[in-house]
Structure 1
Amino acid sequence: MTLGFPCWDQAPAHWDWLAQDEDGQWFWYGVQPSPGIGGGVWRSPSRLQQFAAQGEPNPSWMHSLYQRPEQPSREP
């Protein structure tokens, strides 16, 4: 089964980045990732990277980096 864009509600706490590799795999990142030298993938330290979902292959993967949207502040 192929999933679409992952929901931010599923992201690990304080992990503020999401990106899709060329093969369609989405990953959450604890730090801003960089495009891999060999192409087709995003890179970050492995302990700060977690599988999020499987999507369709994406030839425009370089344009798939998203930062977590701002959360409205809650008043006490």
Structure 2
Amino acid sequence: MDTQNNGKPAWPQAPEGFDWLAQDADGQWFWYSQQPECGWAGGIWRANSRHQQRAGQGAPNPDWEQTLERR
């Protein structure tokens, strides 16, 4: 993981078919196989559990809602 970018995982690490990446407010990164929805109240990105996979851990991020990106 890239520690200079808050632990953001590199795209070559993404599982096949997981084309979305986002970080929750607590710093956890997740891969998603479908576009997740922003869960403002919980500080997390939401998707059905079968559509997400833990990708790593970074520092808590107050700007977490700006981390969603597509491959």
What is the TM-score when the length of structure 2 is the normalising length? 0.87
d(CA) in 1 for partners of 2:25, 2:16 = 25
**In structure 2, what is the equivalent of residue 73 of structure 1?**
none
Answer with 1 or 2: which has the greater Rg: 1
Note the residue ranges of structure 2 that are not aligned, 5 or more in a row. none
State the match for 1:35 in structure 2.
Answer: 38
More helix by share: 2
Are 1:10 and 2:10 an aligned pair?
no
Aligned mates of 2:40, 2:33 — CA distance in 1: 20
Unaligned runs of 5+ in 1: 69-76
Compared with structure 1, are the counterparts of its residues 8 and 40 closer, same or farther at alpha carbon in structure 2 (3 Å cutoff)? same
The one-letter amino acid of 1:51's match is R
Aligned partner of 1:21 among 20, 24, 28: 24
Structure 1 consecutive aligned stretches of length 4 or more whose deviation exceeds 2 Å: none
Identity among equivalent positions (%) equals: 59
Residues paired across the two proteins, number: 67
Identify the residue that residue 50 of structure 1 maps to in structure 2.
53
Name the TM-score, length of structure 1 as normaliser: 0.82
RMSD after superposition: 1.5
